[in-house]
Amino acid sequence: MTTTTPNATALLVLEDGRVYRGTGFGATGSAFGEAVFSTGMTGYQETLTDPSYRRQVVVATAPQIGNTGWVAGPEQNDNESGRIWVAGYVVRDLSPEPSNWRASSSLPAEMETQNVVGISGVDTRALTRHLRTAGAMRCGIFSGDALSSVEDLVAQVRAQPGMEGADLTDEVTTAQPYTVPAAGESRFRVAAVDLGIKANTPRMMAQRGITTVVVPGDVTIEEIEALGVDGVFLSNGPGDPATQTEMVALTREILARRIPLFGICFGNQILGRALGFGTYKLKFGHRGINQPVLERASGRVLISAHNHGFAVDAPLDTVSDTEFGRVQVGFVCLNDNVVEGLECLDVPAFSVQFHPEAAAGPHDAQALFDRFVALMSDPSQRNDTPRKASA
């Protein structure tokens, strides 16, 4: 790996043949993935370290990136995992010098250290408009010796696998279980199935007196029961939920045993499939920290964090009868009416498509963790007493 010089030419190549010229930063070479855009105005470090971005090249719509540098260290809360997960990074204006007393290095230096290729100087407004029209697609970033003819670069991009049919859980899940203790007295014990979990999730649970045992994605129902947990959490993560046959089967076992269940993002899609709903790929997805969702029971609008390219196909305006009882859509996106959450009325389970643990914000949906606590606290949820549907 070589250092990127300030004037090194780089190319962003889309599978439809569009080419964007810019300046390379971070590592030099090539990077391939699905081109997606994130509308977050802040929190680029949290974005880059989110495992849900595995095999994706992220386009930042915020015009300047890098001005707070890179903050390292396990005592800091800026990283959502121990490494950068994005396949590549596309920005318009790269800050020439970080201005942050907490910064341990610059963004380009950290990306070089972790061998992540970036490109700056791209008209990200035009690129985002194109991705909204044409849809998320495969792409490649090329710099240094990886540069060749446009025809060859397009062919390399088109040879890459797409996101549909991608099973990426094994690439992001923990190899061994680990425990995040409760802050203060431990009131509950939860098994968090790591499908690409973000570090802020166990922290949010710890603040509520929950001891979280983070378990690998291939965990069995017997192993979960042996932990003596009060609830199960299904995390966010990358890939196509249609590939998760074993995880769907595990979720059905959890529902059948009436163990309180909370899922977010990928976990919402897994719960949806376990209940018998389908999932589908969105044209360009939801990614950012400014997405409005309607909480249908209360009528409140929450500004929420999103990072997903797939969604659950469930009826919005009717209560559905499933093998596990009645289910209704609890949240809906106000931009495009995408299902943003499911609520089971006859078993103790619910899920949301967005991120209530949101780092770097917003915090409108953090009360959903309190709802999970209430679910685990209610002994009636473990019997056969049904709940009422929302009006």
Tokens for 230? 């009060």
355 has catalytic annotation: yes
306 has catalytic annotation: no
Long-range residue pairs from 343-347, CB within 8 A, at least 24 positions apart, any chain: 343/297, 343/390, 344/255, 344/275, 345/319, 345/386, 345/387, 345/388, 345/389, 346/384, 346/386, 346/387, 347/255, 347/258, 347/261
Residues 6+ apart with CB under 8 A from 121: 21, 22, 23, 92, 93, 94
Q: Is 276 annotated as a binding residue?
A: no
DSSP conformation class of 198:
-
Angle, CA of 28, 30 and 32, to the nearest 5°: 140
265 has catalytic annotation: yes
Side chain identity at 187, as an amino acid letter? R
**139, 265, 333, 344: which one is catalytic?**
265
Residues forming a β-bridge with 224: none
Helix (H, G, I), strand (E, B), or coil: what is residue 299?
A: coil
Q: Is 307 annotated as a binding residue?
A: yes
Q: Is 239 annotated as a binding residue?
A: yes
User: Is the distance from CB of 324 to CB of 347 less than 8 angstroms?
Assistant: yes
Tokens for 258? 């009436």
d(CA 23, CA 43): 22
**15, 80, 112, 357: which one is catalytic?**
357
d(CA 367, CA 357): 10
Q: Is 52 annotated as a binding residue?
A: yes
Residues annotated as catalytic are: 265, 355, 357
Q: Which residues are annotated as a binding site for L-glutamine?
A: 52, 237, 239, 266, 269, 307, 309-310
Instruction: Detail the residues annotated as belonging to a binding site.
Output: 52, 237, 239, 266, 269, 307, 309-310
